[in-house]
Amino acid sequence: MSITPLDYAVFLGYFVFVISIALWVSRKPKDHERTSEDFFLAGRALPWWIIGTSLIASNISAEQMIGMTGSAFAGGLAVVSYEWMAAVTLIIVAKWMLPVFLKMKIYSMPQYLEERFDMRVSMGLAVFWLLVYVFVNLTSVSYLGALTLKNIIGPDFTALTGLEFKLIYGIVGLFLVSFIYTLTGGLTAVAWTDVIQVSVLFIGGLAVTYFGLNAMSDGGGVAAGFANLWNQAPEHFHTVMPWDHIHYPWIGVFIGGMWAANLSYWGCNQYITQRALAGKNLKEAQHGLVFAAFLKVIVPIVVLLPGIVAYALYSDSISQSDQAYSILISKLVPAGFTGLIVAAIVAAIISSLNSMVNSTATIFTMDIFRKINPHASERLLVLIGRITSVVVVCIAIPIAPFLGNLDQAFQYIQEYTGMVSPGIVVIFFFGLFWKRATSASALWMAILTIPVSAALKFIPIYLIPDTILGRFLDPFLNRMGVAMLILFVVGYFISIMTEHTVHEEYDKMEESVSYKTSTIFKVCSILIMGVLTALYLTFF
């Protein structure tokens, strides 16, 4: 369908409003010098509802709105485990990991590793994270966003200007809008505007779901549309898949690599945990994470059902899975709503780009630059953070268009971040829950995580193809689980064979940590677990 002037007005009006809010919340008194804590952690003053919404806004981006919808188009509801298992993971992180992080008042995940182990471990994983954020996350999110913009507004752009809408236009445009307030306000601007972004995201996403289900019933309503969808595509409504399923093997999902992916992402990932580190206190941060867990339960309505609807309606005309969402919009969404939907998608993309860029700058500034220049002033640290933000974007922009040959970018992101996730999870769990864990063991786990993951990837292809073990190792979630187990064993034996370095300050801090949670947290956690159990039994 053609984009109407009303769509453009809604789209542009939305971003003028968001940017204005961002600049307003970022303002400081004239005599106030912005500190690194202000820029990177919003002055450690975020309430629970902002933490929760900001977590979801940072998480739901093009890789979910476009990539996960594409995976639902291709494989059905099984991809939902990334959302529902994440809800369980958020509760675990809030209960057992967050108390330590907030007690230490850290800026970043590498800082925790330095204080628990040593600088070698911290620097090694800081470099890992920087590489993953720049070459996997920033590139894939900007590419998927630009692809969607091209599919939705490309024809109108060409009709208006006579030029082809190239992906690079969308990539550069997304980063430019992101920069307007990220470089000015830091995490404060990002987190507060995330509340607006999530609201628009859910409104726009629900609108697509509504129009899609209504089309399934020829205007008979959402309930009838869902019933028709279930009858027409029953194979797309299973959450539990065979043990050797290429993307969602049940072993990998429930007892294997899915835990590595989620614990690494929600508990050890800078651009996610940074929101919790910025909380007013532990109680606010924990309530924010359980609120995010609740939102993760309902996110599939927004990001998965449209993919299954696209499969039922347009499977014959969609050649690439990641085109499903944009084609659904172009065919079903009426004039006026398209601008809102595009605003929701772009809002999700920009929110994630903001988070990734800010967190990349945090790691480089606080964990690398500050080690080189320990006497740097607060003004210099903020300046270096802003310069880093510009540099990483300039690196990501020319790389992003090369992802165009991928059919399911979401799976690409999960697999290649999964090369590092097993080692990260084992290192953090050794550090948090086993006092005997040594710096040498953490260093070797960091060194080995990519080689072990790579070896497990290529063994089924070249050494044991067409065997039970080869079939088991073929799905990357199974490989991640095996890699995590191997690294756990390696870390254990290295720890008991090497000398344990006593960190007196860390040990004293750890002894004073309280793992008590509020009644609200306990009740909400039980309710979320009960709902998830019912959902898995329903869609088994």
Q: What domains can you pick out in the chain, each with its CATH number?
A: 5-22+44-399+409-417+502-538 (1.20.1730.10)
Among 411, 443, 524, 535, which residue's Cα sits nearest to residue 73?
Answer: 411
Compute the distance between CA of residue 75 and CA of residue 238 in angstroms, rounded to an integer: 9
- pLDDT (0 to 100) of residue 492: 96
pLDDT score at 112: 94
Closest CA to 64 of 205, 235, 230, 261: 205
DSSP secondary structure string, 252-291? HHHTSHHHHHHHHHHHS-HHHHHHHHTBSSHHHHHHHHHH
pLDDT at 395: 92
Residues of the chain with pLDDT under 50: 1
454: phi then psi, degrees, rounded to nearest 5: -65, -40
In 3D space, the residue among 347, 72, 86, 324 whose CA is nearest the CA of residue 200 turns out to be: 347
Provide the 3-class DSSP secondary structure of residue 376. Answer: coil
pLDDT of residue 45: 84
Give the whole-angstrom CA distance, residue 260 versus residue 265.
8
Listed in sequence order, the residues at least 6 apart from 318 whose beta carbon sits closer than 8 Å to its beta carbon are: 73, 310, 324, 327
